[in-house]
Structure 1
Amino acid sequence: MAALIGVITLQIVSRTLFTAVGWTEEVARFLLVWITFLASTLAFQRGRHIAVTFVVDALPARLAQLARIAAVLVALGFMLALVVIGYRYMQVQSFQRSASLRLSMTYVYAVIPISAAIMAWYALIDAIELIVKGPQAADTGSSTAEEPPP
């Protein structure tokens, strides 16, 4: 985030006072993509993604636990598929170069399988906690979804 702020500041200052630095817009775009994907892993870990839980919340504890386990396993499967698809996409785009920096787009697209692997790890931890803790975990949520202490 600090790098993104620095690059955008450089872009504004260079456009206002000098000739615009051409690579700043491209770097800012790539940094924003990386920040978005990495922030999504943090949101996933803390349970901050959008979820409709009123049906699961209305179920008895044991059924709610099974529903949460099923949901986490579906998310885990999706993330594992995204790791594979993201890696393949990275390979397909490896010949492509960015316009101004001539940077291999592999580095830009690498965030897809990286963030998916991190989220898959968090989903695996959540699934294990739901299985080990039993119905209590369905009531309280997993420890990975808790906010850090202030």
Structure 2
Amino acid sequence: MSASALAHSLLRPLRWSERALDAVIAPVVVTAMAALIGVITLQVVSRVFFTAVGWTEEVARFLLVWITFLAATLAFRRGRHIALTFVVDALPGFPRRLARIAALLVSLGFLLALMAIGWEYMQVQSFQKSASLRLSMTWVYAVIPLAAAIMAWYALVDIIALSLGEPPPDAEEPGA
């Protein structure tokens, strides 16, 4: 078996796990966006025509937090976060790959720190209940370590792929 075929066979289950996560997260984000639109519409209509529905502001805020973090995982996977890549893109093949690996390692370090800090913050806030729904704030803040863990997984898979000489799945080549 050639080295390229071996690398491809090693990456297949990792890439499958990324696609599976995306297949779950994307509809959750779309559904949450639809729910957010519905809740905000209810909030506006109830304020204009009736008495304001108290829980709508809280639900909208919590949905927005979850949408932000979960959509960030989708953007991370697709390489859509803001990045200055002109220096890396100007490098030839092997140095470009090393620079991408270095950037992913820095991102991975940040994401692991965010995961740990998010977990700690979630634990600290666990005794607190939301004002209207009386929902444990653990559920609100759980998205921080969850999203950080998902993005860390994506970064790790990309590091492995680049180390094996394969480009990330949605990487755009310079000039493309």
TM-score normalised according to structure 1 size: 0.88
Counterpart selection for 1:16 from 32, 36, 48 = 48
What is the alpha-carbon distance in structure 1 between the residues aligned to residue 91 and residue 44 of structure 2?
54
Unaligned ranges ≥5, structure 2:
1-32
Task: Within 5 Å, give how 1:41-52 maps onto structure 2.
Answer: 41-52=73-84
1:67-96, Cα deviation, whole Å (9 max, x unpaired)? 111111111111111111100100001111
Tell which deviates more after alignment, 4-13 or 108-117: 4-13
The aligned amino acid for 1:89 is Y
Unaligned ranges ≥5, structure 1:
none
Counterpart selection for 1:82 from 82, 95, 114 = 114
Matched, 1:105 2:137: yes
8 A contact 1:45–1:145 mirrored in 2: no
Q: Which residue of 2 aligns with 1:33?
A: 65
**C-alpha spacing 1:39/1:145, structure 2 compared with 1 (3 Å):** farther
Matched, 1:71 2:107: no
Number of equivalenced pairs: 140
Q: Which residue of 1 aligns with 2:34?
A: 2
1:34-76, Cα deviation, whole Å (9 max, x unpaired)? 1011111111000001111111122221111111111111111
**Shift >4 Å, 4+ stretches:** none
TM-score normalised according to structure 2 size: 0.76
Percent identical among aligned pairs is: 76
Higher relative contact order by CA 8 Å / sep ≥ 6: 1 or 2?
A: 1
**C-alpha spacing 1:145/1:42, structure 2 compared with 1 (3 Å):** farther
Tell which deviates more after alignment, 111-120 or 69-78: 69-78
**C-alpha spacing 1:55/1:145, structure 2 compared with 1 (3 Å):** closer
